[in-house]
Amino acid sequence: METLQRFSLRLLPISLAEKCLNPYTHGVPRAVTLAPLSRFARMSISKPEFLSSNPKSTFHNSFSSSLTAKAGWFLGLGEKKKTSFPDIVKAGDPVLHEPAREVDPEEIGSERIQKIIDDMIKAMRMAPGVGLAAPQIGVPLRIIVLEDTKEYIRYAPKEETKAQDRRPFDLLVILNPKLEKKSNRTAFFFEGCLSVDGFRAVVERYLDVEVTGLSRYGQPIKVNASGWQARILQHECDHLDGTLYVDKMVPRTFRTIENLDLPLAEGCPNLGAR
């Protein structure tokens, strides 16, 4: 358990500098797990942005990648051309700190709601992240999207993903989600958030949860999740109640990414399952 304190355990996947988007068609959802539904899907990449789990290396590469991405508009793409996906709203914006409202089931099939869902998927994948809630793009509606892929997971240390019980799952789109714990088992791990960029903190989460809601087609959906997927679901559902992970973090564990590998303060819980 002591070695777990040195892990770079985080909710966000390893960033991918060469990440691109491909056209993808809408498919018919399965009963529980939805296949990728966005018109945009990633191309496979030859090299990840981060090759080291060293937080200082991660910070440096992330910063360089950000500059490279911003400079991309000078590579024959036109001056100050705007991206086609929304910006991620940052902590402090009221939309992140107030409860979101439910989506009217009669509006789920509307062009407006479907565009919001597509925008969320694009923003999540471009960040990249493994989950996103509608308030994070400035929309106060109870919609979440989440996805964790083999591509993301293979760049994390196997020892780390095993401790997190992190396994890939297909894209999930859930409207008006309701979350219930299915056991009292919990785990302490570092989390991050696209809306609190550059920081991490330890959060205790339930290891087994059930989420019910509606699919993007208005069909009932139920997801039984454990391990890291359960953590992602809790993190995203918290967003819908105006709660950020820093509102639930273990005191004295908040830190910058570059200090992620430093030991926890005396008295802080060891990382891992309880």
**Beta strands 208-214 and 169-181: pairing type?**
antiparallel
Are the CB atoms for 195 and 96 separated by under 8 Å? yes
Q: Report the alpha-carbon distance of residue 223 to residue 19 in Å, rounded.
A: 28
Residue 216 main-chain phi, psi, to 5 deg: -65, -10
Query: Is-contact 258 198, C-beta < 8 A?
Result: no
Q: How many helices (H) and strands (E) does the chain have?
A: 5, 11
How many whole angstroms from its chain centre is CA 133?
Answer: 9
| Sign of the four-CA dihedral 240, 244, 250, 255 | positive
173 in the Ramachandran plot: left (φ > 0), alpha (ψ -120 to 50) or beta?
Answer: beta
Catalytic residue selected from 2, 236, 258, 266: 236
159 is catalytic: no
Q: Residue 90 in 3-state DSSP?
A: coil
> Considering just the CA atoms, what is the radius of gyration of the chain in Å?
18
Cβ proximity of 169 and 149 under 8 Å = no
Query: Which amino acids are annotated catalytic?
Result: 236
